[in-house]
């Protein structure tokens, strides 16, 4: 280490063996070229022939210490590399041969190198041209390289412009070579586990690159590898990689390249948009799986013309949204948010829950305004807030139970059907207004078909579950809102455009209904919006499907669809009539 420090950082690095199309040539400084010595040979071989699928390694020990004579062969699809390291008995012999379509390379360190193209062009270098002198290279600077690498991965210094996912693949290959049996051809273990980039908290899976010769369908997953832990179960990814050629592009160039070979793609949440040009490249495409529910981003009309199946993960999302609908319904019936605000303001909201002794004391305070001994004990705020009823019964509470109520659903789809299942445990009668659901389907879920007027006028809770189309924009207007009975809770987790906002504000100002809203015409909801000034409005920031469980559920569904597609089972393809009603 001390000798390395005295030598200092490397003054040069020869990058003449980088072929065109493999990226920029290696830098000549330790600040961004972070591999070292013997690893350079293996790294350079992989850069030349691509990631190998198999290898064989023979080794022996000359003298004391670790194995110091190695012969390694790497096998790619159409390329191979042969590496010899001999550091036994004071020798230093390194010879590398790489062969592939259109090139043959021989490198003998530290003396000579030759790159021969099959078109007849040959380049050769001798010791002097490699080192700038007649002496072998001595200026390695290991300590400097090691320091820069540690700083890069610990966050103490600038991160080099390198691919750490590739580094994990490289280290898996190196680890496999070190642990291999003598002379046995060994396949590279897959997939590869790597740590997420700095700042992430989970582990991710980056399966190794598969070669075009593979007969497995190519599937491109467009979500960035750094966020795979958000959506995907890693053991399921490992299993899926055995039957599918999974690709994880991280740049637009890689996306275009992988789409050109893909039979299926996974897109949607946290995925970059696919351009028309990129879709045109995907001539082999058979299936598109959208993580999420909206499919407009993938141009379904274009996919239909090309005969590409389209699926989403709406049912997985519906499980979370339906829970939110249940939450809003209960909160609306119990006036939860209004009571919570009053309690935080130090008030005791009116109801029949005031203790009997407090009710009696307050009666005295009210009857005897001049009683000096009572006023300090019971300020006006307390006296006004205490509800005093007749006898022991108290006053009528301003809330209601969900159990046994009639619930109306406007629209019928994944969310509405999941919500209906939850309501069944509360013994609710469920009315459904739907123009497309069959009677058999509704009966199978234990719900009853009704007109829009019957749903609005006959339900204690009305929940909206329609997409936005020309027919549904403003479908809940002044006339429809007038049908709502006093005490009704109106829930909207679907689309804000379903309700005429001006009419809704006018109806809410009457004060006898509650609106529980998760969607708005302007998002985020601007400060000072009229909805924020009404106590009978419950507001949530368009987050009915935001939970870790939901994210993992949609990822699991996406992978399940891929597996079923590969193994010939039925998959939930979206039909035209369904797509037309979606937003």
pLDDT in tens, 424-471: 999 999 999 999 899 999 999 999 999 999 999 999 999 999 999 889
Q: What is the pLDDT of residues 29-43, one digit of tens each?
A: 333 322 334 566 777
φ/ψ of residue 490, rounded to 5: -105, 120
CA distances from 88 to 65, 92, 510, 565 (A): 10, 7, 93, 55
Distance separating alpha carbons of residues 238 and 333, to the nearest angstrom: 47
In this structure, what token pair is assigned to residue 505? 């504000």
Tokens describing residue 449: 């078909």
Question: What percentage of the chain exceeds 70 in pLDDT?
Answer: 69
How sure is the predictor about 64, in pLDDT bands with cuts at 50, 70 and 90?
low
d(C-alpha 449, C-alpha 432), whole Å: 5
pLDDT of 99 > 80? The answer is yes
Q: What is the pLDDT of residues 245-257, one digit of tens each?
A: 999 998 999 999 9
| pLDDT > 70? residue 60 | yes
pLDDT class of 89 with cuts at 50, 70, 90: low
> Per-residue confidence at 120, pLDDT binned at 50, 70, 90?
confident
Within 13 A of 153's CA, how many CA atoms are on the CB side?
13
Tell me, what's the pLDDT at 365? 64
- pTM recorded for the entire structure: 0.59
Q: Do the Cβ atoms of 548 and 522 come closer than 8 Å?
A: no
Residue range 226-239: mean pLDDT, rounded:
89
pLDDT band at residue 379 using 50, 70 and 90 as cut-offs = low
Kindly give the pairing relationship between strand 186-187 and strand 122-125: unpaired
**Residue 139 pLDDT class (50, 70, 90 cuts):** very low
For residue 47, pLDDT over 60 is answered with yes
Does residue 21 have a pLDDT over 50? no
| Residues above pLDDT 90, as percent of the chain | 44
Report, in this order, helix, strand and coil percent for the chain, each rounded to 5.
35, 20, 45
pLDDT score recorded for residue 362: 62
């Amino acid at each position: 280490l001390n000798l390395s420090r005295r030598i200092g950082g490397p003054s040069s690095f020869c990058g003449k063996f980088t072929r065109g199309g493999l990226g920029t040539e290696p830098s000549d400084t330790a600040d961004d070229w972070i591999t070292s010595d013997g690893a350079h040979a293996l790294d350079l071989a992989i850069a030349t022939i691509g990631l190998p699928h198999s290898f064989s390694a023979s080794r022996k020990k000359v003298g004391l210490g670790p194995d110091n004579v190695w012969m390694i062969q790497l096998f790619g699809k159409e390329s191979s590399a042969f590496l010899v390291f001999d550091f036994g008995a004071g020798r230093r012999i390194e010879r590398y041969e790489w062969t592939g379509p259109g090139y043959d390379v021989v490198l003998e360190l530290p003396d000579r190198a030759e790159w021969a193209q099959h078109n007849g062009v040959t380049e050769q270098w001798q010791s002097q041209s490699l080192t700038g002198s007649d002496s072998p290279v001595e200026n390695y600077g290991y300590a400097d390289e090691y320091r820069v690498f540690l700083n890069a991965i610990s966050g103490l210094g600038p991160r080099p412009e390198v691919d750490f996912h590739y580094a994990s693949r490289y280290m898996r290959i190196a680890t496999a070579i070190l642990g291999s049996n003598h002379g046995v051809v060994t396949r590279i273990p897959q997939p590869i586990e790597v740590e997420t980039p700095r700042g992430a908290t989970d582990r991710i899976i980056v399966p190794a690159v598969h070669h075009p010769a593979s007969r497995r369908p190519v599937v491109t997953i467009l979500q960035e590898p750094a966020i795979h832990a958000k959506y995907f179960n890693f053991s399921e990814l490992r299993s899926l990689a055995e039957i599918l050629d999974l690709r994880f592009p991280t740049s637009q160039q890689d996306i275009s390249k992988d789409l050109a070979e893909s039979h299926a793609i996974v897109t949607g949440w946290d995925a970059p948009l696919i351009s028309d040009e990129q879709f045109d490249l995907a001539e082999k495409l058979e299936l598109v799986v959208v993580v999420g529910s909206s499919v407009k981003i993938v141009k379904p009309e274009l996919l239909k013309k090309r005969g590409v199946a389209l699926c989403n993960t709406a049912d997985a999302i519906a499980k979370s949204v339906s829970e939110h609908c249940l939450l809003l319904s209960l909160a609306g019936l119990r006036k939860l948010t209004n009571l919570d605000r009053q309690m935080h303001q130090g008030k005791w909201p009116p109801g029949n829950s005031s203790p009997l002794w407090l009710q009696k004391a307050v009666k005295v305070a009210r009857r005897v305004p001049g009683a000096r001994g009572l006023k300090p004990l019971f300020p006006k705020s307390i006296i006004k807030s205490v509800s005093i009823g007749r006898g022991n019964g108290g006053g009528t509470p301003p809330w209601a139970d969900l159990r046994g109520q009639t619930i109306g659903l406007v629209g019928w789809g994944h969310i509405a059907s999941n919500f209906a299942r939850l309501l069944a445990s509360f013994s609710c009668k469920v009315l459904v207004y739907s123009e497309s659901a069959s009677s058999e389907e509704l009966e199978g879920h234990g719900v009853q078909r009704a007109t829009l007027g019957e749903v609005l006028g006959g339900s204690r809770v009305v929940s909206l579950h329609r997409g936005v189309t020309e027919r549904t924009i403003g479908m809940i207007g002044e006339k429809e809102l007038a049908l709502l009975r006093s005490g009704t809770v109106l829930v909207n987790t679907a689309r804000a455009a379903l309700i005429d906002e001006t009419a809704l504000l006018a109806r809410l100002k009457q004060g006898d209904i509650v609106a529980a809203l998760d969607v708005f015409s302007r998002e985020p909801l601007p400060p000072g919006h009229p909805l924020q000034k009404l106590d009978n409005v419950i507001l949530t920031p368009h987050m009915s499907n935001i939970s870790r469980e939901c994210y993992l559920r949609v990822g699991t569904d996406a992978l399940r669809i891929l597996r079923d597609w590969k193994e010939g089972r039925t998959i939930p393809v979206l039909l035209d009539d369904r797509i037309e009603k979606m937003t």
